[in-house]
């Protein structure tokens, strides 16, 4: 019998608005960015209320396994408050998704007897309004290793920046998503400056039996 798993890795800004960590428009204007204005939500990867999103779909059968992956980037909205006219203009842009990657690393398990898969999921996605790393090297960065077992065990380990929020969910056989890892920067005293290297949240680990 086939067993199917979907794993989602999503980053989002929980605030309704955040000020730019580098005010590249001064003295003419002050820059802020629209947040996603939400808490943890298993279904928000289907909307635009995120900064980055990855999904891995894994299928195990009696004769082996296969997988596919998807990725998306949320639209960034910048507000420029003019210090002279006291008016605000709105601008939108979208970062490249090239910094979102998934690699299956267990080549030795690709045979018909495979009952587990190992993936390395990486993110390094910047703000399209701050493209120069010499100005602010503040990409959203994470590296998670995922272990997916046919018997229903899902494990995650890795590191990430202290900002923004991170959520990892998984479901088996369309049975509804369960959380594997959640991190809200507000609970840890983190802010936009936590985007600067190195990744300051290390030793992430969790394992759940979802079947």
Domain ranges across the chain: 3-209
The partner residues of 205 in beta bridges, in order of sequence, read: 157
Q: Is the previous residue joined to 164 through a cis bond, with omega within 30 degrees of 0?
A: yes
The model's pLDDT over 140-189, given as tens digits with 9 standing for 90+, comes to 999 999 999 999 999 999 999 999 999 999 999 988 999 999 999 999 99
Please indicate whether residue 47 or residue 8 has the higher confidence score (pLDDT): 8
Is the pLDDT at 135 greater than 80? The verdict is no
Tell me the C-alpha distance between 46 and 24, whole Å: 32
203: left (phi over 0), alpha (psi -120 to 50) or beta: left
Cα(203)–Cα(211) distance, rounded to whole angstroms? 25
d(CA 117, CA 209): 15
The candidate with the shortest Cα–Cα distance to 53, out of 62, 41, 44, 64, is 44
Task: Specify the pTM.
Answer: 0.93
Residues 6+ apart with CB under 8 A from 84: 28
In this prediction, residues 9-25 reach a mean pLDDT of 94
Residue 64: the pLDDT is 80
DSSP, collapsed to helix, strand or coil, labels residue 125 as: strand
Q: What is the pLDDT of residues 64-106, one digit of tens each?
A: 889 999 999 999 999 999 999 999 999 999 999 999 999 998 7
Task: Provide the percentage of residues in the chain whose pLDDT is more than 90.
Answer: 79
pLDDT-based confidence at residue 137 (cuts at 50, 70, 90) = confident
List, for residues 105-115, the tens digit of each pLDDT value: 875 444 444 78
Can you give the pLDDT at residue 170?
96
């Amino acid at each position: 019998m086939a067993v199917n798993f979907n794993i989602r890795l999503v980053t989002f800004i929980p605030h309704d608005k955040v000020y730019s960590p580098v005010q590249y428009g001064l003295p003419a204007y002050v820059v802020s960015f629209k947040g996603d204005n939400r808490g943890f939500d298993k279904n928000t990867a289907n909307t635009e209320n995120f900064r980055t999103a990855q999904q891995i779909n894994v299928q195990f059968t009696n004769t082996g396994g296969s997988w596919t992956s998807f990725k998306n980037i949320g639209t960034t909205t910048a507000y420029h408050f003019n210090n002279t006219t006291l008016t605000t203009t709105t601008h939108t842009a979208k970062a490249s998704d090239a910094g979102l990657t998934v690699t299956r690393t267990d080549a030795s398990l690709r045979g018909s007897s495979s009952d587990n898969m190992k993936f390395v999921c990486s993110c390094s996605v910047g703000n399209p309004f701050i493209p120069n790393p010499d100005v602010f090297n503040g990409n959203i960065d994470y590296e998670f290793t995922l272990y997916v077992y046919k018997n229903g065990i899902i494990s995650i380990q890795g590191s990430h920046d202290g900002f923004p929020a991170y959520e990892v969910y998984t479901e088996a056989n369309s049975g509804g998503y369960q959380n594997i890892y959640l991190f809200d920067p507000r609970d840890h005293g983190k802010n936009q400056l936590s985007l600067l290297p190195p990744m300051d949240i290390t030793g992430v680990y969790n394992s759940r039996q979802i079947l």
